[in-house]
């Protein structure tokens, strides 16, 4: 285990040198990438430094045990250091179990209204607001890439990016079908309906991860439209990009600039292509390596938000909280921590 932490410590020290390099400082993207990598490695490097100090000090104390004048003090100090070392090893083990590829990557999130008609579009808006509030609490940045509002203020679909520290680590289990049980605003009889919206969380690719041949793209422009299909722009600023080899289609119309819409559409397209590539790789894994917390199937029902009981239930781990209002205001920590705990317990059971 400690060999891995030693490697992380060496990487962190190398990044400390790189961040002071004028070439890195002058390249905004390279600088931000180094800062993010350092943030991901900082705790691991600190743990290894403390481990190295404790083991060195214990070794030095071992050599002093032969001196009868300080033997009692040495034994007491050794007990304290040994106790701290055991606690540090447990912390390191937990960190190692929770270490995942892409943990520190930014994400692109897609929310689409599912069954439930207009009520489902309102629920999609609720989910978007929930993730936005959660991002605010974490100090993350949210940017809307594309949206298709409904006539009553919801969203048929909304696509947005979230950037910051360890975004994917905390949000990677949000993909799936979210259900809501409540009396819709459109319901006059007071009956409780069940509606749904799907959430997809994708890592935002680095430039080197996804290369797209311009020849594989068909780009169309058209006028932006709002709820009900009416035109909201007098120029052809909306962009539709079709990736011919896969048939993936991405549209962006939120910006007034055609160039900005094209840039955003390409970001979404790259994220979808990388996500498709990862899912194909995951399907090749044996069933033994699939996580029981969730299969990753987008059609999987993962969570229910029940308004009459003020209840939120995550079906994958059987977790329930009766803090519905707080959860919808972005207080997701309790649910996400339960998911992370279940993941660690699962990983520990396999070691």
C-alpha distances in Å from residue 345, one per residue of 2, 86, 87, 317, 340: 21, 19, 18, 12, 9
Task: Identify the pLDDT of residue 216.
Answer: 94
What b/e string do you get for 307-331 counting C-beta neighbours within 10 Å, with b at 16 or more? eeeebbbbbbbebebeebeebbebb
| Same domain? 202 vs 324 | yes
Q: What is the mean pLDDT of residues 64-90?
A: 83
Please state, as a whole number, how many other Cβ atoms lie within 10 Å of the Cβ of residue 218. Answer: 11
| Same domain? 40 vs 78 | yes
Task: Identify the pLDDT of residue 185.
Answer: 78
Range of the domain at 265: 214-282
Residue 289 lies in a domain: no
209 or 84, which is more confident?
84
Q: What is the mean pLDDT of residues 205-230?
A: 79
CATH of the domain at 274: 3.30.160.20
pLDDT band at 226 (very low <50, low <70, confident <90, very high): low
Task: Identify the pLDDT of residue 280.
Answer: 81
123-174 per-position pLDDT tens digit: 999 999 999 999 999 999 999 999 999 998 999 999 999 999 889 999 999 9
What b/e string do you get for 54-89 counting C-beta neighbours within 10 Å, with b at 16 or more? beeeeeebeeeeeeeeeeeebeeebeebeeebeeee
pLDDT band at 227 (very low <50, low <70, confident <90, very high): low
Answer whether residue 286 shows pLDDT above 60.
no
| Same domain? 199 vs 155 | yes
Answer whether residue 289 shows pLDDT above 50.
no
CATH of the domain at 193: 3.30.70.1660
For residue 213, is it left (φ>0), alpha (ψ between -120 and 50) or beta?
Answer: beta
Residue 288 lies in a domain: no
Q: In what order do the strands lie in the sheet with 193-203?
A: 141-149, 155-163, 107-113, 193-203, 176-182, 301-306, 311-314, 319-321
Asked whether the beta carbons of 147 and 224 are under 8 A apart, the reply is no
Task: Identify the pLDDT of residue 94.
Answer: 78
Round the CA-based radius of gyration of the chain to a whole number and report it.
Answer: 25
Q: What is the pTM of this model?
A: 0.75
Residue at a domain's end among 52, 69, 98 = 98
Task: Identify the pLDDT of residue 100.
Answer: 78
Task: Identify the pLDDT of residue 81.
Answer: 92
Show the CA angle centred on residue 307, arms to residues 305 and 309, nearest 5°: 100
Residue 23 lies in a domain: yes
Helix, strand or coil for residue 218?
strand
Asked whether the beta carbons of 110 and 132 are under 8 A apart, the reply is no
| Same domain? 197 vs 158 | yes
Q: What is the mean pLDDT of residues 324-335?
A: 97
235-263 per-position pLDDT tens digit: 678 999 999 999 999 999 888 889 999 99
90-129 per-position pLDDT tens digit: 888 878 766 777 888 899 999 999 999 999 999 999 999 9
Flag the least confident range among 14-18, 45-49, 99-103, 215-219.
99-103
Domain count for the chain, please give it.
3
| Same domain? 277 vs 298 | no
Q: What is the mean pLDDT of residues 5-29?
A: 90
Q: What is the mean pLDDT of the chain?
A: 87
Task: Identify the pLDDT of residue 287.
Answer: 45
Task: Identify the pLDDT of residue 133.
Answer: 98
Residue 88 lies in a domain: yes
C-alpha span between 342 and 348 (Å, rounded): 10
Answer whether residue 351 shows pLDDT above 70.
no
Show the CA angle centred on residue 35, arms to residues 34 and 36, nearest 5°: 90
| Same domain? 22 vs 167 | no
Element containing residue 84 per DSSP (H, E): helix 71-98
């Amino acid at each position: 285990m400690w060999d891995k932490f030693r490697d992380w410590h060496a990487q962190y020290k190398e990044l400390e040198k790189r961040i002071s390099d004028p070439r890195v400082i002058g390249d905004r993207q390279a600088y931000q990438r180094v800062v993010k990598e350092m943030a991901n490695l900082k705790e691991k490097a600190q743990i290894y430094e403390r481990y190295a100090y404790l083991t060195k000090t214990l070794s030095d104390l071992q050599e002093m045990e032969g001196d009868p004048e300080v033997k009692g003090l040495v034994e007491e100090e050794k007990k304290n250091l040994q106790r701290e070392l055991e606690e540090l090893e447990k912390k390191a083990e937990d960190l190692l179990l929770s270490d995942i590829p892409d943990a520190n990557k930014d994400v692109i999130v897609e929310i689409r209204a599912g069954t439930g008609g207009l009520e489902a579009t309102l629920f999609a808006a609720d989910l978007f607001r929930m993730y936005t509030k959660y991002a605010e609490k974490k100090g993350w940045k949210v940017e809307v890439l594309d949206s298709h509002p409904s006539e009553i203020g919801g969203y048929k679909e909304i696509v947005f990016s979230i950037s910051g520290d360890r975004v994917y680590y905390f949000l990677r289990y949000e993909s799936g079908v979210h259900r809501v049980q409540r009396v819709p605003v459109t319901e006059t009889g007071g009956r409780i309906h069940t509606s749904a919206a799907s959430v997809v969380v994708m890592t935002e690719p680095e430039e080197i991860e996804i290369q797209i041949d311009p020849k594989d793209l068909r780009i169309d422009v058209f006028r932006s439209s709002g709820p009900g299909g009416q035109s909201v722009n007098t120029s052809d600023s909306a962009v539709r990009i079709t990736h011919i080899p896969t048939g993936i289609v991405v549209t962006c119309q939120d910006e007034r600039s055609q160039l900005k819409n094209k840039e955003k559409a390409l970001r979404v397209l790259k994220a979808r292509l990388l996500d498709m590539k990862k899912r194909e790789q995951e399907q090749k894994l044996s069933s033994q390596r699939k996580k029981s917390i969730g299969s990753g199937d987008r059609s999987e029902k993962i969570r229910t938000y029940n308004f009459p009981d003020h209840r939120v239930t995550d079906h994958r781990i059987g977790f329930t909280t009766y803090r519905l209002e707080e959860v919808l205001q972005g207080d997701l920590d309790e649910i996400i921590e339960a998911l992370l705990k279940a993941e660690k317990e699962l990983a520990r059971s396999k070691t």
